[in-house]
Amino acid sequence: MTLKIVVLLFDGFTMLDAVGPIEVLSLLPDADIKVVAKTPGIIWPDNRAVPFIAPFGIADVRDADVLLIPGGPGSDAIETDIEILNWVRHIDAAAQWTCSVCTGALILAAAGLLTGKEATTHWSVLARLSEFGALPRSKRWVESGKVITAAGVSAGIDMALMLASRLNGDRAAQAIQLSIEYDPAPPFQSGSVYSAGPDVVGAIMDGTVEFNRSGRTRPTIPRPI
C-alpha cells in the first residue's frame, strides 16, 4: 500500500531540514513523496546555493499519511499565511503523522496544532513555542500523540529514522540507516547549546560567525526544559 508523504517547501527553507527526512523516508517501501509549495515552481533555500522545484502546489494535494514541514528563516512568513495554515490544518486532520523539523514547528504552532502539547524546535527559537501555547522541550525530537517535532536542521534525520521504525518496523529503519551509512562521527562535540561551550555560542551570539538560521531575532540560549 502506498505511503503518501507530503513535504511543504517555501522560499527561505533550510535545505537539510527537508532533505534529511526525505532521504530517509524515500527508502521506505512504497513511499510516494510529493513536494509542494504554495504554488508549484522554483523554491529557493535560505543559502540560495541551489534552487529546488516544487512539482505540486498545495491545491494539488488534499490528503496524506505523513505531513512533513521543514524550517528555516522563511518559516516566519508562513506563520501568518492563512491559506497555507488552513492547508496544514486540513492535511493534519486526516494524517497518520504530522512532523516538523527546526522552525517548521512554529508553522505547526501557528496553525494551532501544538496548543497544550510538548514540542521542540531549533534551540535559538525554542522559547517562541510558548507564544502559541505549546510546551517547549529541549529534546532531539518530541512525540505528542501523532505530532512529532524535531530540533534544529540535522535533527530531522534522527526523527525520520524513528518515524520509519513506527511505519515499517525497526528492521526497515535500521536498513535505511545502514543504506545512508548514518554512523555519525562529528569532528567536534558542539552540536548542542549545552555542549558547545561559551566560546562557540558567543561566536554565534556576537555575529562573528555567519549564522543565517534565526530569522528575525538574535538567538537566545534556552535553559534546559
Q: Site residues for a copy of itself, window 61-100 (CB under 8 A)?
A: none
Cα distance between residue 202 and residue 181, in whole Å = 33
- CA dist 63 → 55, 66, 67, 73, 185 (Å): 16, 9, 9, 26, 38
Measured from the CB atom, the residue of 48 and 93 that comes closer to a copy of itself is 48
User: Among 132, 101, 99, 97, which Cα is nearest to 117's?
Assistant: 132
User: Among 108, 184, 112, which Cα is nearest to 149's?
Assistant: 108
Does the protein bind a copy of itself through residue 8 (CB under 8 A)? no
The reply to whether 99 belongs to the active site is no
Measured from the CB atom, the residue of 80 and 197 that comes closer to a copy of itself is 197
Does the protein bind a copy of itself through residue 22 (CB under 8 A)? yes
**Cell numbers at 57, concatenated:** 502546489
Give the x/- contact pattern for a copy of itself in 156-195, rule: CB under 8 A: -xx--xx--x----xxxxxxxxxxxxxxxxxxx-xxxx-x
In the list 135, 140, 146, 225, the residue contacting a copy of itself (rule: CB under 8 A) is: 140
Measured from the CB atom, the residue of 82 and 183 that comes closer to a copy of itself is 183
- Active site residues per annotation: 102
